[in-house]
A and B are shown apart, each in its own frame.
Chain A
Amino acid sequence: MISLAPPPLPSDDKRWKIVNGTMRRHGFARHALIETLHTAQSSFGYLDDTAIRFIAKSLRVPLSQAYGVVTFYHHFSLKPPGKHTLTVCTGTACYIKGSDKLLADAEKHLGIAQGKTTPDGEISLMTARCVGACGRAPVVLVDGELAGQLSSEQVIAQLERWVVA
């Protein structure tokens, strides 16, 4: 017999209550999967095994489907992000204005490829497909804050500020 009662919270970490709150607001309906994953990712920074299992069980969604959704959408991450995140926009307008060079220079400076985090866990280098600020291309997100019309030197200066701080 399968138990239909929602599973207990994985730990007494208060963030699970926030995640549970999103599911409750949607009446634990299966279609709340993506919304709940959003809440979990913004609470924890990424989605680990525990989170995916907990959400899948609570919403009575097969684990395979939950994992399928997490890996389908670019926004969801299975790995913890670095302390700081630099996101380079690689949309068309930014590309025409030289974002490929910004990205290559940042990769070279940090010694990591896009989508990776430095070994000390300090800085993640990510890319985004257009943040919709094309009027200010090339654009990067510095810990989520938008900065426009940047040069490679300015981006590297920012990366160096993080190391010092």
Chain B
Amino acid sequence: MNLEELKQIAENTREEHAKFDYDINICMGTGCLSQHSDQIKDQLTKAVAATGKNAFVRRTGCMGLCAAGPLLLVNSRGIKHEVLYNHVTTSDAESIAASLGGEPVAALQCDLREHFESQVHVVLENSGHIDPEKIEDYIARDGYEGLVTAVTEMTPGEVIEQIMKSGLRGRGGGGYPTGLKWSTVAKAVGDPKYVVCNGDEGDPGAFMDRSVLESDPQRVLEGMALAAYAVGASRGFIYVRAEYPLAVSRLTAALRDARRRGLLGNNICNSDFSFDVEIRLGAGAFVCGEETALIASIEGRRGTPKPRPPYPAVSGIWGKPTLINNVETFANVPPILRKGGEWFSSIGIGKSKGTKVFAITGKIANTGLVEVPMGIPLRQIIEGIGGGVPDGHTFKAVQTGGPSGGCIPAELLDLHVSYESLIEVGSMMGSGGMIVMDDTSCMVNVAKFFIEFCMTESCGKCIPCRAGTAQLYTLLSRICDGEGTMADLDLLVDLSATIKETSLCGLGQTAPNPVLSTLRYFRNEYLDHIEHKRCTAGVCAMTKTNETVEVSA
């Protein structure tokens, strides 16, 4: 494979697509599939054939707006306007087929301009536009151009330089500069070296990685191959949660196609660069998102973390230099190589470059996946793109960063989203989950929920995390039951500080964050529970007091 051959494949595929007057894309991501979008596709294919219209019905990945699924996008040749249909059912197939070339079916049309217009798609540029199981579709949208150019025309050092210039930072949570990580692994002595893609998206409420793997798996493989070329690795692992069966099957298909096209395997593009990837299934342990635990799991052991240093960049899988990046980080790499690091660094704000994919869920109208430039005000994400809190309730807080993050209250909604700004307000970027809570959520209970999560997910290796989270849980339960005292609040703060400072890995070091951030912004709710034995949201039963009746009334 060389660049010309690649461009020929792209050209042929585009010509193939241009033969049709209409393109109908149907979302077949996990969300829409659960509403039988596969059956809709079959019905629609039949209905279109019956009308004799020259239309192509394509299976695609996620279009983002999961709340309105199943989604369907119609493109008519020569007309710029795309038509997006939502809440489609199998019985709508005939009317949609009949409407091709005429007026769109008004009743099904999705009219959420604000939702789509303020988004900038880099990672999701192909999601919802290509068939995830067709490598040709990816190539037709300039896929693998970055890899082939890099392998045939660039030195590994030049690839790293582009990544450095782009200012890309780890999208898994920490925000470590990707270029720096790559150059450390490139300089590390050891053979072989490994590239690992961390797809252990354990953070509940986040599903960016699942969606990228399901919608555009080739992009992740290309990113990994580029990383392998840059650092001198020959073998890669992609660690995916067992809870994501669709992502695993799409990845398996993608690996097969990439090998068949010679884009993975031995002597890629007739160079002496060889690289192949193996899928490793997670087995349901949140701590395996931590890189040293993930390595242990790939080696077939219990996923318990190790003290760092040595960092995996120096001593990772089987003691060899190992590069670990998150799915979204790898997904950002191909466009950087294609368009240059400077292009990427022109998006974003301060030290946070590029875009970020967020999964917006909870009490919000437009639940789903969005991709926005760094630096966008939080308010625009929640009220504009997200459509605000539905059913006449009021916004109370948005939780970012999962169990390691914090709750951001309404008064901070004008915050511009970046790695630094989120840490300043006591939360963090995390992997990109945003859970919106309204006045029916009790913040003490939410803190208890997260601590319970960390308590059960603690691997048990170090005492501060194993015993500390259990003690935090006991304290919070007592407060939720109406038995808390003011002394408990001081104990919460004190214990949180100890756990943060003395835990071995990221799980323990960040576990108290939800407690501390809710204490910081919603202290009055804690006081209500303790002094007045009252839960204003009506969530905590306050079972041990006599005021239950008053609360629920």
Q: Which positions in A face B, CB cutoff 8 Å? A: 30-35, 37-38, 61, 65, 68-69, 72-76, 90-97, 128-137, 139, 145-148
Give the distance to chain A from B522, nearest Cβ to Cβ, in Å: 15
Chain B 18-37 interface 0/1 with A at a Cβ cutoff of 8 Å (1 = within): 00000000000011011100
Residues B285 and A74 in contact, CB atoms below 8 Å apart: yes
A68 vs B285: C-alpha distance when bound (angstroms): 13
* Cβ contacts under 8 Å, B204 to chain A: 90-95, 129-130, 134
- Could you name 10 residue pairs across A and B whose Cβ atoms are closer than 8 Å? A69-B300, A69-B301, A95-B204, A96-B362, A97-B363, A130-B202, A132-B207, A134-B433, A136-B31, A146-B30
Closest to A144 in B: B245
* Cβ contacts under 8 Å, A73 to chain B: 283-285, 303
Residues B34 and A133 in contact, CB atoms below 8 Å apart: yes
Residues A68 and B299 in contact, CB atoms below 8 Å apart: no
Give the distance to chain B from A32, nearest Cβ to Cβ, in Å: 6
Residues A137 and B367 in contact, CB atoms below 8 Å apart: yes
Chain B 291-310 interface 0/1 with A at a Cβ cutoff of 8 Å (1 = within): 00000011111110000000
Q: Does residue B418 face the partner (Cβ distance < 8 Å to A)?
A: no
Residues A134 and B359 in contact, CB atoms below 8 Å apart: yes
| Known pairs A73-B284, A129-B284 / 17 extra A-B pairs, C-beta < 8 Å | A34-B280, A34-B300, A69-B301, A69-B302, A72-B459, A75-B242, A91-B205, A92-B402, A93-B435, A95-B204, A96-B436, A96-B441, A130-B207, A134-B206, A134-B433, A135-B367, A147-B34
* Cβ contacts under 8 Å, B205 to chain A: 91-93, 130, 134
Closest to B460 in A: A72
Chain B 227-244 interface 0/1 with A at a Cβ cutoff of 8 Å (1 = within): 000000000000001111
Q: Does residue B325 face the partner (Cβ distance < 8 Å to A)?
A: no
Residues B285 and A72 in contact, CB atoms below 8 Å apart: yes
Residues B435 and A129 in contact, CB atoms below 8 Å apart: no
* Cβ contacts under 8 Å, A91 to chain B: 204-205
Residues B243 and A132 in contact, CB atoms below 8 Å apart: yes
Tally the A-B contacts, defined by beta carbons under 8 Å.
Answer: 141
Within 8 A of A (CB), among B410-445: 433, 435-437, 441
Give the distance to chain B from A37, nearest Cβ to Cβ, in Å: 8
A68 vs B300: C-alpha distance when bound (angstroms): 11
Which of A38, A133, A137, A139 gathers the greatest number of chain B CB atoms within 10 Å? A133
Q: Does residue B341 face the partner (Cβ distance < 8 Å to A)?
A: no
Q: Which positions in B face A, CB cutoff 8 Å? A: 30-31, 33-35, 66-67, 69, 201-207, 210-211, 241-244, 280-286, 297-303, 359, 361-363, 367-369, 399, 402, 433, 435-437, 441, 449-450, 453, 457, 459
* Cβ contacts under 8 Å, B282 to chain A: 75
Residues A31 and B303 in contact, CB atoms below 8 Å apart: no
A76 vs B31: C-alpha distance when bound (angstroms): 25
Give the distance to chain A from B38, nearest Cβ to Cβ, in Å: 12
With A132-B201, A133-B207 as given contacts, are A65 and B301 in contact (CB-CB < 8 Å)? Answer: yes
Closest to A90 in B: B204
* Cβ contacts under 8 Å, A74 to chain B: 283-285
| Closest 3 pairs between A and B when the two form their complex, measured CB to CB | A135-B66, A91-B204, A73-B283
Residues B35 and A129 in contact, CB atoms below 8 Å apart: no
A30: which of B33, B300, B437 is its contact (CB, 8 Å)? B300
Residues B244 and A132 in contact, CB atoms below 8 Å apart: yes
B453: which of A30, A35, A129 is its contact (CB, 8 Å)? A129
With A93-B204, A95-B449 as given contacts, are A72 and B30 in contact (CB-CB < 8 Å)? Answer: no
* Cβ contacts under 8 Å, A136 to chain B: 31, 34, 66-67, 69, 367
Give the distance to chain A from B136, nearest Cβ to Cβ, in Å: 27
Residues B31 and A133 in contact, CB atoms below 8 Å apart: yes
Which of B242, B368, B441 gathers the greatest number of chain A CB atoms within 10 Å? B242
